[in-house]
Every structure is written in structure tokens, then in C-alpha cells.
Amino acid sequence: MELDPKKYNRIDYQKAPKILEVKDLRVSFKSDSGIVHAVRGVSFDLYKGETLCIVGESGCGKSATCKTLMGILANEAVIEGGTAMFEGEDLTRISEEDFHRIRGNKIGMIFQDPLSSLNPIMKIGQQITEATLINRNILKKRYNDLISKELIAFKNLQTERNYAIQQLVAQYDFYEVDAKKKLSDAVYQMKKAGKPQSEILAFERREKRHIRKEYRTIRKANRLKIRQIEKDYRLKEPALKTALALRKKEAKQENKVYADKLKKELQEAVSKIDVELKTLTPDKDQARIQELQAQRAKLINDYELKTCITKKQARAMALEVMKEVGIPQPEARFKQYPFEFSGGMRQRIVIAIALTANPEVLICDEPTTALDVTIQAQILELINKIKKDRNMSVIFITHDLGVVANMADRVAVMYAGKIVEVGTAFEVFFQPKHPYTWALLSSVPDVDSKEKLVAIPGTPPNLVTPPKGDAFAARNQYAMAVDYEYEPPLFKISETHYASTWLLYEKFAPKAVPPKIVTTRIEKALEEEEAYERHNG
Ligand SMILES: Nc1ncnc2c1ncn2[C@@H]1O[C@H](COP(=O)(O)OP(=O)(O)O)[C@@H](O)[C@H]1O
Ligand SMILES: [Mg+2]
């Protein structure tokens, strides 16, 4: 009996829409040892509703790839090329404010260390509520975006004035403090030297007079400067203030038009549904009625979420999302601080906060690496569940291929800043083609047979000076001469399966097969699958 790989795809890859398209992404870091070429031409698509797992050893550029998508790369990073198209915008090019808009609402990210994303001194209920308020007050957000240019110009004028004045005031204040300190030191020295009292007093009087005079001179000059600054400010302020007020008025108007439009659209869509509902009969058209009612509820819900919510609503939503991520007794847990939660519970909270924005894409960067095995399994299950419930797309990053066997729809294997194999989970787990994938599969511990896992020999190459040819060659027991000279292209194996290794090029390659440990495991897994199918299918 042959298993049909397509049967294992929950996603129809010929039809599913692409939500994110990454093309030839290149990211480098400036470091003391030179330029680190961390991401060297990575391309992948993310389909609606799928979980794409990106797997590879530490340092192969997984985090750098995803941080680029989120716009949170370190300062020393440079995006050297490529595009990442998301809803018509290139995530590698758009402004930081736009990033905030997209990051806040459309793309969520969770990291290995949940504490790094939580505020340690704020109760977690409040953190989730605030995130909800910020993420769901869409009209307010829109208004703030609309006025931000004028608001920043006005604020800058104010802060520049305040800063300049502070500097000038500090100048005469500091002079006085400093001069008085020096004088008292001098007096002390004179006393110590046994100078006559009258001489000391005379010196002191003279010096004090001098300090006062000097202080007044500086103060006078600086007050003149301050007056000039105030004058300049008063000259410039009205224009900016007016511009801001005007923009606020326009923004309010624009927002009102927008809100009215949303409302009108909602009313029209709802009444269209209501009209159809009236034509249906409960017994005959049960299915259609249910469908329409669900559509109607969704329209209203979407509308509310697109406009604004109250603090009370936000609190209720926070409790709801806490329940969704499986935090027991959310009402009681609401008032606790992050330190009162276990690692697994903290990761649930971080997921809850990400969910408040109702993201379309959730990027998980090794979210379970710091957790122990049972907790890890629970978090994976949770991510799987919310992904299904919300029809989200997930990018799941891990160094451990074993972790993702049960959740991946597709797997991309990364090595030294490149994707070396990509395919559906079935293809990568059961028909792997790249020797690095074979190596990763051999290093996954087998729980049943307690087989010794095979560590991959050697270490990944230094990305300051990436090797010529196939970057994996030096660690590849199947390496051929060509591997040290030329980089293999991405060979197509199926519509969904590609791998970059010269082993796939008939002219060069012997009939290389995966190592025994991998083939036996695959055979065993396939037998189990077939037995299961005979039973249930
Ligand atoms: N801020 C940084 N400065 C310099 N090099 C960095 C920086 N961040 C990452 N790198 C380098 O980039 C490469 C890829 O890193 P990363 O994307 O974090 O890998 P992964 O997430 O796969 O473990 C590594 O060689 C790493 O040392
Ligand atoms: Mg990483």
C-alpha cells in the first residue's frame, strides 16, 4: 500500500492564498570580527492558515529572518536586499510607524523568554487589558496616526525650547555652586596654613563679591538668551499650534467620515442578510439560515473591533483570552504579577497578549526551548489550537525537528543563512532529500527504540566568510568535489518540495540514500501510518 502524500496536507497548496511572500532576503550584522552574513538569500511563502516551521541549528539565521519581518532587528543589522510582501506592503521597506501599525495588529511574535516581553511590576490582568485597549481602539489609533506629523513637530519645538533654557539656567547655577565650593576650599587651606583671621575674612569678602558679580553677569547674559529663545518660540509656536489644531480637526472629520462609512457598510451588509433571511423558511433552509446568522454576527463583531471598545469591554476580553490560552482561574490570576507564574503559564500570558491584537500571522521564535518536555507539549498544543480556532498562519522557529512533527504543515530547513530544503511535513519527514535534513532527522532522539541519537559532526561555518560552494559540504559525508566549488541550485522535487543539494543532479550524483538510522525510522513510521490507515481509513 502506497501512502498518498497529498492526503497529509491540511492545506491545498494549489489553491490556498499566500499571506506573506519573502524573496531573496539578505541580512548582515556589523560586528567586531567583520560583517556577519546571517541571512543569505532566503525566500519562502506563508499560506493562509498554515504552520510553517523553520528548522536549523543555532546561528543559522532563523531569528534574524523573523526579526526582519517584525522590524525589530538590532541597530548593527543591515537589510542588504530582498522583499517581504505582506498585504501589498514590503515589510523590509516601510516606515517604522507603519511597522507599528502592522506589527500591532497583523503580525504577532512570541519569543523563547516570556519574561522579556512582560512588565515585571504590572499585574498580568492589567497588562492584557492595556494591550487589548491599545490594540482594539482602532479609531483612536487611526486618529493618532493622522495627527502624528503635526503633533511631533509641535512637541519637538517645545522640547527644544525647554532643553535650551535648562542648559542656560544650569550654566549660572552651576557657576555659583562651583565657585562657592572652591572658595570654601581656599578658606580652609588658608586656615590650615595659619593665615591671620583678618586676612581670611577680607579674602572671603572680596571673593564673594566677585562671585556675585560674575554670577549676575552670566545670569544677565543667559537671561537675555532665554528671552530670545522664548521670543523665537512664541514666533514659531502659533503656526505649529494652528497646524496641529487644524490637523486635529481634519483628522476628527476624516475619522468621522471613516466611522460613518464603516457603520453604513455594516448596516447595508446586515440588512442584505436580513432581507435574505426573510425569504427563507426555518425547516427547509436550516443550513443557509445558520450560515447567514453566523455571517451577521461576524459582521457586527468585526465592526465593533474596528471602531473602539471600553475599558470594561477590554477587561472582559482580557479574561476571555486568558481562558482561551488555558490559564486556570483567570479572575484570580488577573491580579497576580508575572513572577507568580510558572514558565509555561508566562508563555501562555505572552500568547494571550499577542492574541489581543487578533493577528493574522503569529511568529513563534523557539517559544518552548526554555520549557521542560511536558510543558513544551502543552504550549505546542495550545499554539495548534488557537491557530485552528482563529485560522491564523504561524511561523514556528525551532532548532529541534522533533518538536514540530505534530504541528508543521510545511517545514523549511535552514543552514548557514539559507533554506536548503522545503516541503510539506510529509515530504520533509518521510521523503527528505538534503543530507543536512538527514543529519537533523538522525539527531532527533527516538522515544520508542531509545536509539542513540547521532550528533551532526563539526560546526556550522563562520558567516563572516561563508564557504564557497555548498556551505554544508565540510560536514557532509556524501560531499562530492562539486560541492566545494559550486553552490547547488534549489532543485524541484514536487510542486511543494525543493532541496538544494548536488545529490539531486543525476549527472553528478551517485544514488545517495539517507543513512540507515533515517531510513529505518521512516520505514517504521510509514508502517505505523499504513496500519493506522488500514484500521481507520
Ligand atoms: N546583533 C548581532 N550582531 C552581530 N551578529 C549577530 C547579531 N545577531 C545575530 N548575529 C549573528 O547572525 C547569525 C544568525 O543569528 P540568528 O538569526 O540569531 O540565528 P538563530 O536564530 O538561527 O540561532 C549568527 O551567526 C549570529 O552570531
Ligand atoms: Mg534564534
Output the pLDDT for position 152. Answer: 75
Q: Which of 42, 60, 73, 396 to mutate to test the pocket of ligand 1 (most atoms within 8 A of CB)?
A: 60
Q: What is the pLDDT of residue 198?
A: 94
Contact 26, 82 (CB under 8 A): yes
Helix axes 343-355, 373-390, angle to 10 degrees: 10
Pairing of the two strands 77-86 and 18-31 = antiparallel
What gap in Å lies between CA 537 and CA 535, rounded to an integer?
6
Task: Determine the average pLDDT of the residues in 379-390.
Answer: 94
Say whether pLDDT at 420 is over 80. Answer: yes
Nearest CA to ligand 1 atom 9: 64
pLDDT in tens, 190-204: 999 999 999 999 999
Q: What is the pLDDT of residues 263-292, one digit of tens each?
A: 999 999 999 999 999 998 888 888 899 999
**Would you say residue 19 has pLDDT above 90?**
yes
Which residue CA neighbors atom 2 of ligand 1 most closely? 29
Q: Do 384 and 393 meet the contact criterion of CB atoms below 8 Å apart?
A: no
Average of per-residue pLDDT across 95-117 = 75
Asked if residue 20 belongs to a domain, the reply is: no
Residue 8, pLDDT score: 79
Beta-carbon count within 10 A of 186 CB? 14
Say which ligand is closest to the CA of 68.
1
Residue 149 has pLDDT above 60, yes or no: yes
- End-to-end, the C-alpha distance of the chain in Å comes to 12
60 vs 156, higher pLDDT = 60
Q: Ligand 1: which residue has its CA nearest to atom 3?
A: 29
The verdict on residue 252 lying in a domain is yes
Ligand 2 center–CA 122 separation, angstroms? 27
Domain that holds residue 147: 137-259
Question: Residue 205: what pLDDT?
Answer: 95
Span from the CA of 64 to the centroid of ligand 1 (angstroms): 6
Residue 400 Cα to ligand 2 midpoint, Å, equals 12
314 φ/ψ angles, rounded to the nearest 5 degrees: -60, -40
Residue 140: per-residue pLDDT: 78
Helix axes of 311-324 and 124-136: crossing angle, nearest 10 degrees? 110
Judge whether 225 lies within some domain.
yes
**Which segments of 366-521 are extended strands (E)?**
393-398, 410-415, 418-424, 491-492, 498-499
Q: In one letter, which amino acid is 194? A: G
What does the pLDDT average to over 41-45?
Answer: 98
Q: Could you tell me the pLDDT band of residue 100, with boundaries at 50, 70 and 90?
A: low
Helix (H, G, I), strand (E, B) or coil at 350: helix
CA distance 530 to 537: 9
Q: Is residue 1 scored above 60 in pLDDT? A: no
452-476: b (≥16 Cβ within 10 Å) or e: eeeebeeebbebeebbebbbbbbbb
pLDDT in the model for residue 449 = 57
Note whether 23 and 442 are within 8 A (CB). no
pLDDT at 528: 86
- Beta-carbon count within 10 A of 297 CB: 10
Per the structure, how many domains does the chain have? 1
Does residue 311 belong to any structural domain of this protein?
Answer: no
| Banded model confidence at residue 507, pLDDT cuts 50, 70, 90 | confident
Residue 453: predicted pLDDT: 65
Q: How many residues in total does the chain contain?
A: 537
Q: Is residue 424 part of a domain?
A: no
Of 19-33, 36-50, 87-101, 275-289, the range with the lowest mean pLDDT is 87-101
For residues 45-68, average pLDDT:
96
Residue 1 lies in a domain: no
Strands 410-415 and 51-55: parallel
C-alpha 521 to ligand 2 mean position (Å): 28
Is residue 391 situated within a structural domain? no
> Crossing angle of helices 435-442/516-536, nearest 10°?
80
Return the ∠ at Cα 450 (arms to 448 and 451), rounded to 5°: 115
Q: What percent of the chain is predicted at pLDDT more than 70?
A: 95
pLDDT of 2: 62
Which ligand does the CA of 56 lie closest to?
1
For residue 509, the model assigns a pLDDT of 66
Query: Any idea which of 104-108, 426-430, 452-456 has the lowest mean pLDDT?
Result: 452-456
Q: Are 493 and 427 in contact (CB under 8 A)?
A: yes
Task: Read off the pLDDT of residues 458-480 as tens digits, 9 standing for 90 and up.
Answer: 899 999 989 999 999 999 988 98
- 59 C-alpha to center of ligand 1: Å? 5
Q: Which residues contact 23 (CB under 8 A, 6 or more apart)?
A: 43, 82, 83, 84, 85
- Mean pLDDT (the chain) is 89
Q: Where are the beta strands (DSSP E) in 87-142?
A: 89-90, 107-110
How far is residue 467 CA from its own chain's centroid? 30
- Position 66 confidence tier, pLDDT thresholds 50, 70, 90: very high
Question: What local confidence, expressed as pLDDT, does residue 531 receive?
Answer: 86
pLDDT at residue 524 above 60?
Answer: yes
Highest mean pLDDT among 65-74, 153-162, 483-492: 483-492
Residue 364's pLDDT is 96
- DSSP 3-state of 161: helix
Which one of the ligands is nearest to 54 CA? 1
Average pLDDT estimate for 19-32: 93
Residue minimizing CA distance to atom 7 of ligand 1: 29
Strands 418-424 and 410-415: antiparallel
**What does the pLDDT look like over 323-344, one tens digit per residue?**
999 999 999 999 999 999 999 9
Among the bound ligands, name the one nearest to the CA of residue 364. Answer: 2
437 C-alpha vs ligand 1 centroid, how far in Å?
21
Examine residue 289 and state whether it is found in any structural domain, yes or no: no
pLDDT, residue 388, reads 93
Answer yes or no: is pLDDT of 188 > 90. Answer: yes
- For the segment 444-461, what is each residue's pLDDT rounded down to a tens digit? 876 665 555 677 888 999
Residue 19 in grid coordinates = 499571506
> Do 146 and 258 contact (CB within 8 A), yes or no?
no
Per DSSP, the residues of 205-264 read HHHHHHHHHHHHHHHHHHHHHHHHHHHHHHHHHHHHHHHHHHHHHHHHHHHHHHHHHHHH
Phi, psi angles (nearest 5°) of residue 329: 45, 60
